[in-house]
């Protein structure tokens, strides 16, 4: 297995971005995560607004007594705000696994463009469940670590010199783990195989994750980074495993 360095990881995400931008056949697939997120947010927002209004009416009862019109509108705005926040997180959390078929297609296109082989299609439901499982695993491992670093920073602010960069590094590694799932799953690699790849190419994975994390800092581009990241992860895996075919 070829070992890669930090620059290889940064180059991979930039190459993935370039591939998506210059490959018209990948544009439609790249828009699917955003379309899915928009549909999910629209649907859950409508339910949240309707449910919030109904709940406010049930709490206040007759608006002419007690709370009055001002009270019922205050409750509605509170419930609507809470509902929209929940709708946003639901849309962002489910958009990736529900768009797994599109991201798999991007991984296949990038693989072929780099001289790789044609991998068999995966079942739609199985792919979505796999993506959801990987994302939840990353969250289950990463959130406690990030929470601990945040707690240390809160209790001892000078430690932020160390903890803040560490939080960025941890986030980058979690993002890399999530995105590397697509090309490695195409190859049928187990979780242990993926961890071996990440360990043997740690600096490249770190470079890839940090560079991708930097792109995610740009407001409003989270779902747009997904196609770039999947293509970049495929390039990274292809380069690291090229000696194995």
245 falls in which pLDDT band (50, 70, 90)? very low
137, 138, 144, 149 alpha-carbon torsion, rounded to 10°: 170
Length of the chain as a residue count: 245
> Distance between CA 91 and CA 155 in Å, rounded?
33
Model pTM score: 0.79
| Residues 13-27 pLDDT 10s | 999 999 999 999 999
Residue 188 has pLDDT above 60, yes or no: yes
Q: What percent of the chain has pLDDT over 90?
A: 27
Q: What percent of the chain has pLDDT over 70?
A: 86
Residue 73 has pLDDT above 90, yes or no: no
| Residues 123-146 pLDDT 10s | 666 666 666 677 677 777 777 888
- Averaged pLDDT, 221-229: 85
């Amino acid at each position: 297995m070829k070992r890669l360095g930090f620059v290889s990881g940064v180059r991979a995400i930039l190459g993935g971005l370039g591939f998506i931008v210059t490959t018209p056949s990948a544009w439609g697939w790249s828009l699917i995560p955003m379309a899915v997120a928009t549909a999910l947010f629209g649907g859950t927002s409508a339910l949240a607004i309707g449910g919030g209004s109904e709940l406010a009416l049930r709490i206040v009862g007759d608006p002419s007594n007690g709370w009055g019109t001002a009270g019922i509108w205050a409750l509605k705005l509170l419930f609507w705000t809470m509902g929209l926040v929940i709708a946003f997180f639901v849309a962002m959390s489910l958009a990736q696994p529900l768009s797994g078929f599109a991201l798999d297609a991007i991984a296949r296109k990038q693989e072929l463009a780099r001289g790789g082989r044609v991998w068999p299609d995966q079942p739609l439901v199985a792919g979505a469940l796999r993506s959801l499982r990987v994302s939840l695993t990353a969250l289950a491992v990463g959130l406690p670590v990030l929470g601990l670093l945040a707690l240390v920073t809160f209790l001892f602010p000078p430690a932020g010199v160390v903890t803040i960069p560490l939080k960025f590094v941890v986030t980058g590694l979690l993002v890399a783990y999530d995105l590397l799932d697509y090309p490695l799953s195409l190859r049928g690699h187990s979780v242990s195989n993926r961890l071996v790849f990440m360990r043997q190419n740690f600096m490249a994975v770190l470079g890839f994750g940090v560079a991708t994390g930097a792109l995610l800092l740009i407001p409003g581009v989270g779902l747009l980074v997904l196609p770039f990241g999947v293509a970049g992860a495929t390039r990274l895996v292809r380069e690291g495993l090229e000696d194995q075919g």
